[in-house]
Structure 1
């Protein structure tokens, strides 16, 4: 088997995973560009700011702004003025998002299960360990 560059393999897996997620989430009005990640974070941390989302998820500000706007237009989140900073808004899930949350978790779980379906539990643990190790290194640089 030809040894391929790690970055190329990670990129390929990422792109394929996003295609699968986009297809599964499209009927719910959730688009690509990581919108599911933003919605999941807002559901888990109601009242988060856009800047906090950018830092937590490691997206650029433009991608965060675009995704937040699309989630708001789709009725999944709402902006409320930050009482401590009038220039900032706090992001909250709507009742629609709360209803969708179990479906989102199920779709993400199934997608992850599909990613590792050919791995043993030991291989899965090793893969997670190694990817976390690489990720930590990238955060230090």
Structure 2
């Protein structure tokens, strides 16, 4: 922090929410041309790329979204050609989600946008400040 800056105590939740909304706007604008919209669709795609064969229920639980948001995002990603549903051989009522070749090809582009977003957020931090920020956010993470 610059010594000339005056500290102004603000609600932590509001600051985190503002940062999150700003990042969502940036990613929605950047990824929109690729057919990936808002609502955290990139989070679902990234999770499916990292764990092919996951279920919607697992996505909902792991990403902390509600079931309706998960269902809507999965449907939109499927319609955009990024994922496909396959019937679970162990439970014919359930579907497993897999990335398509289009998603696998897009993966480096997605990662570049995510990396760029993180770089923008931390551009005024030293490496030590960034490390400390991550540690502090991990420390206060709420798991409900």
Query: Normalising TM by the smaller chain, what interval?
Result: over 0.9
Structure 2 unmatched runs, 5+: 1-6
Shift of 1:3: 1.2
| CA deviation profile, 1:18-55 (whole Å, cap 9, x unmatched) | 00111110110000011000000101111000000011
Tell whether 2:130 aligns with 1:124. yes
Over the aligned positions, Cα root-mean-square deviation in angstroms equals: 0.8
SS at match of 1:13: helix
From 66, 75, 79, the equivalent of 1:69 is 75
Greater fraction helix: 1
List structure 1 segments (4+ residues) > 3 angstroms apart after TM superposition. none
1:2-81 matches, cutoff 5 A: 2-81=8-87
Question: How many residue pairs align between the two structures?
Answer: 138
Taking structure 2 as the reference length, the TM-score comes to: 0.94
CA distance in 2, matches of 1:64, 1:13: 22
Larger Rg: 2
| Aligned mates of 1:56, 1:123 — CA distance in 2 | 28
Q: What is the CA-CA distance between 1:103 and the residue it aligns to? A: 0.3
